[in-house]
Every structure is written in C-alpha cells, then in structure tokens.
Amino acid sequence: MPENIIIINCGSQFTQLIARRLREMKVHTLIMNWYASAEQVRSYSPKGIIISGGPDSVNDPGAISIDPEILTLGCPVLGICYGMQLIAKMTGGHVVEGESREYGVTAIHKAGGNSLILGENIPSTLNVLMSHGDYVAELPEGFKATSMTDGGIISSFEDSSRNFFGLQFHPEVISTENGSYILRGFAFKVCKCSGDWKLSDWVDGTITAIRKAVGDSKVICGLSGGVDSSVSAALVNKAIGDKLQCVFVNHGLMRLNEPESVMKEYESIGLSVKYVDASERFLSELAGVDDPEKKRKIIGRLFIEVFEEEAGKIDGAEWLLQGTIYPDVIESGTKKGSALIKSHHNVGGLPEKMNLKLLEPLRDLFKDEVRQLGKIIGMPDEIISRQPFPGPGLAVRCLGAITKERLDTLRAADAIFRDELEKAGLYAGIWQAFCVLLPVKSVGVMGDSRTYNEAIVLRAIHSQDAMTAEWSRIDYDVVDRVSKRICNEVRGINRVVMDVTSKPPATIEWE
C-alpha cells in the first residue's frame, strides 16, 4: 500500500483540488466522505489527514461532522476552512457567525512565532482566498493563532503538541500565495511523506480493476469527441480489447464540421466506433425548452436511451463507459454534503433507472491529469490537447429555446472566433474559447437600415483544472477582427460582447 494522506470530504467544491495539489507533489491521496468511521480511516495507515471545507455552518442543526475518534488516531490533522472550524469546535473552541462574510482574496499576517507549516520561507504577509461566514472566536486549549486578518480574525492556528493545524483560507487554489508551499510543509515537514507516488502506478491499478469488474461481459462507450471520453475509451481498450464497443452519437449539438473530423480521428487510433445520427431526436425533445437544468437532464436521458438501444444490439453488453471527471462530479453535487452547482449530463443528468452499469474510471481525476494519462497510454497529441467541450454541446451555449436556426448561427460565430484565434497563434495557449448565443435582442444599424438582432458573447479562459479559471486577456485587435467578421458574416447577429468574469464567481459555461 502506498503512503496515504486521507482527505475527508465535508462537501467543499475544492476537495479534489486538495488531492490534485498533493498528487503534483507525488503524494498519494484518498478521499473519504465525512461519515467514514475512524476504523475505516485507520485501515489505510494514513500519514496525515486533511478535513476539507464545506457549505454548512458547524453550528447548524445537523451540520456535517466527523467521527471524533479520527482526532485520536495519532497522525497529523489539517483542517481547511470548515475543517478548521470543525477542529476548533470538537476540541473546545468557540465558532461564531461573522458580522459579514469573507469571499475573495484577503491579506493575512503571520503571528504567534514560527509555525510548522507557515514556516520561515513563507512571507509575513500573504494574499489568500477566503470563502467563509463563520470564524473561530476562541481558540481551544493548547492552540495558538499563527496568522490573523487585518480585521483581527484568526486565519490559521495550530497545536504543535498534537500536530493539529487549521487554515481559514484555501491553500489549494492558485489565487492563494504560497498555497502549494503550505501544503508541501504539511505533507513533508509534518507528515514525513516520501513523495514517490506516480500517475503511471494509478494506470496499472486501474487497468487491473477494470478487468476484474467487467469480467466476461462487454462495455459500450459513448464517445463525444472530447478528451475525457476519448482517454477513457483508450484506457479501457487497453484493459479489455475487443470487449469494448464505442458509439459516437451525433446529437445535433456539435460545432461546425465536428462529427466528420471526430470520426476520422477515432479511426486513426484503432477504436471500433459506430456512428449514430440522433440529431433530429435530440432537437425534437429540446424544442421550446429554455431551462438549463431541464436541457441537461433531457440530454442525459436521451444519451442513455440511445446507448441502451445500441447496447441491446450487442450480445453481452452490461456496462456503459463514460468520461466523467471530478469537476463534473463536484459541480453536480453528487457527493453527500456537496452543493449542486449544475447537473452534468453524464452525472446529475442521468435517469434514476438504468439497464446498464456505469464504468467511470476517470471520475477522480482532473482535466490536466486526464491529459497526462493520455500521454502515458500513448494517445496522439491532436486528441489529448483538444480544448474541453461540454457533453451537452452547444445546448449549454445556446441560451434560451433551442432551434436548428439558432444553433447554426452559434456554430458560424464560434467557427469565426476559433479561426481568428488560430490565425493569431493564440488558440493553443487558451484553455477554452467559445461563443455563447444570447436570447437578447438589441437595436443596430447595418447598411443604413435598422436591425433588431441577437448578441454573441465571446468567452475565453485560462485554467489548470476547471475548478477555478481566469478570463483570457486577448489582444484587442484580434477581438476587433472577430467582432467585425461575426457581424458581417453571421446573419441574425448585430452585437458582440466579451465575458470578462472569472470562476468563481461564474462557471466556465453559461449554463
């Protein structure tokens, strides 16, 4: 068994991001839900335990808590945000509701002498990401404050005799200065980890687990053309070979000429793929639907229906392979205690009853880890470097009611945006770039005539893991060319605007 740091998930949107940061340091992590028993945690012989943030208040009736015996296991414990407040409450401290909430980047200042994880190499003042309403008003006995905010709020504490630590801020996000260094201090200085875990080890174990789970049955895979489903298929193909049958469903919600190009790429890597054109079926059921959650659930249900119909034609097919990754799981609120952000078609959008069992080998990985995995198993760069594209496709970028005409408008605008970014040499360096069609009309003037048409939004972001994102600062001359081309070449558009919102507070997609 590899060295483990156990992360106890109390429902934070950032739980897996903690795991990702530690994996970057080659430290193996396991995520367990907050209701895990101390004995379950002990069975993994943890080098340390991290208690995540969460959406609750520790003072709420029925608030998430952990088995008290976990704090007696004798290994170091780090609480982050809600986790810090939970440690404080469970060890005799006092947590109260603040007069105002703290969301966003905040300055903190080291206090109380040297700290085991806020060591000498950490600056005396740090800008960190806060996201909380409560705070620790009174420290438990034996604890000391190791940093404070400008307003005098305790932003970190520790009890060095028991190796208990708390951070009111989130060290796992990139907007926290020296956040990875702080986690590194906990993992190596406090927990004494060796840092010898590799993603390639995960590959070997996962292939073995897939073979054991599938046995003699067959797997049907829904390929979308995206990185996640493609890497999932290649991984499972390595595990079970010709017992995998892939199906590519054209739901009529893809970008310009994408179905044809995707099929050629799959052919080039030797996957057995059946093409199914279900575009009329999808567009028929989506007609008149403008609620984003309903859109996602309709698409999720139809995907499963189509796949089950195709599976029924394959003798022995019992499994549905999906490219679900962890941001999908977290945003869909499917882990007990986590908040629903939006239902992903392959997670929260799935119907309650299914005839196929789900196989989701990537559900605990982030996008960048999926790309690394693709390289490890020998996939071509053209596939693994592709920009993310949502499973529901243009349905979540065509706001309001979906029609074929509006989708064609969006496709044309999106193709122009991507074309100009490629010509400027910018496309490959952007995590995701796309257009959104708004169901909002405004007055314009073209050829001395009044127009009353819809608007296109340009959205381009940089990210490492899809959990947080910053909007891309594209050269204005490029934006100007895109705007002029869209207004001149795409019928029905007379206004182009740009989304300059990061995640949080926004999500990457608009729906």
* Tokens 């044809």 -> residue: 260
Reported residue count of the chain is 511
Residue 188, burial from CB neighbour count under 10 angstroms (0-12, 13-18, 19+):
middle
The amino acid present at 8, given as its one-letter code, is I
231-240 burial string, b = 16+ CB within 10 Å, else e? bbbbbbbbbb
List the end-to-end C-alpha distance of the chain, in Å, as a whole number. Answer: 41
Which residues are catalytic, by number? 81, 170, 172
Estimate to the nearest angstrom the gap between the alpha carbon of 41 and the chain centroid: 25
Asked if 79 contacts 49 with a C-beta cutoff of 8 angstroms, the reply is no
- Residue 151, C-beta contacts closer than 8 angstroms, at least 6 positions apart: none
Estimate to the nearest angstrom the gap between the alpha carbon of 221 and the chain centroid: 21
Residue 1 CA: distances (Å) to CA of 55, 70, 191, 277: 33, 20, 16, 46
Query: Taking the alpha carbons of 7, 103, 365, 171 in that order, is the dihedral positive or negative?
Result: negative
Query: Taking the alpha carbons of 247, 259, 298, 499 in that order, is the dihedral positive or negative?
Result: positive
Q: How far apart are CA 32 and CA 6, in angstroms?
A: 7
Kindly report the backbone phi and psi dihedral angles of residue 35, in degrees, each rounded to the nearest multiple of 5, phi listed first.
-90, 5
Q: What tokens appear for 59 in the block?
A: 């003072």
Q: How far apart are CA 82 and CA 493, in angstroms?
A: 46
Tell me whether strands 449-462 and 432-446 are parallel, antiparallel or unpaired: antiparallel
- Residue 167, C-beta contacts closer than 8 angstroms, at least 6 positions apart: 78, 79, 80, 81, 84, 155, 156, 182
Strand order from edge to edge, sheet including 94-110:
29-33, 5-9, 48-51, 77-80, 164-167, 154-159, 144-149, 94-110, 125-138
Tell me whether strands 432-446 and 317-321 are parallel, antiparallel or unpaired: unpaired
